[in-house]
Amino acid sequence: MDIKIEPGWKEQLEDEFEKPYFTSLTGFVKSEYAAQKIYPPGKLIFNAFEKCPFDKTKVVILGQDPYHEPGQAHGLCFSVPDGVSLPPSLQNIFKEIKNDLGIAVPKSGNLERWAEQGVFLLNATLTVRAHQAGSHQKRGWEMFTDKVITLLSESREHLVFLLWGAYAQRKSELINTSKHLILSSVHPSPLSAHRGFFGNHQFSKTNEYLKSHGKSPVNW
């Protein structure tokens, strides 16, 4: 199956695109876009991969679902396009960056600038129906994104995986901790951020680890 995706990722994932589950997933997603309002726009489903090539990835942040309200989702977890108000979890991420590194909270929630530095912003499910959180879960996306995490763990070295909340933390079993760093905490949502997201200093810890392995730090 010819999936339009960044060439480095395409090379890594070619076999996955031919598997029966992915064929079934593709049929489901196409039918949903034809009949329903689905986010993100079709051309941005693989935006995280486009903005952060396989061999440039240094940090992985894992989300669960795309945003499901108009104008928010653009294929990068936690990120929103320029001009869109900051969702609560993203506000809390920026607050912790300010607390940790002294960087002022930006006006834009567009995290493409992180992706272009090697921060892979992956949602476990890459599409969603408008106004229906979780509506495309258990259709095959998780199998695909688990494979993506496994490939990064097996084929790369000295990556940082930021796993926020119980859902993301379950993915730790896919990651080889002898050659990668996992930083876990509660989710940055307003429901949990005060129970350990604030004060986790994971942005500075990420940069310290990258520098210790000869990689450039992220300008958060």
Q: Which of 71, 144, 136, 58 is nearest to 109 (CA)?
A: 71
What does DSSP say about strands 128-129 and 38-39: parallel, antiparallel, or unpaired?
antiparallel
Cα dihedral sign, 4-72-139-124:
positive
65 is catalytic: yes
Q: Which of 15, 11, 13 is nearest to 149 (CA)?
A: 13
How far from 6 is each of 22, 35, 42, 66, 70, CA to CA, in Å?
18, 27, 15, 20, 26
- Give the whole-angstrom CA distance, residue 94 versus residue 59: 17
Q: Are 38 and 32 in contact (CB under 8 A)?
A: yes
Catalytic residue among 65, 82, 100, 146: 65
Please identify every residue annotated as catalytic.
65
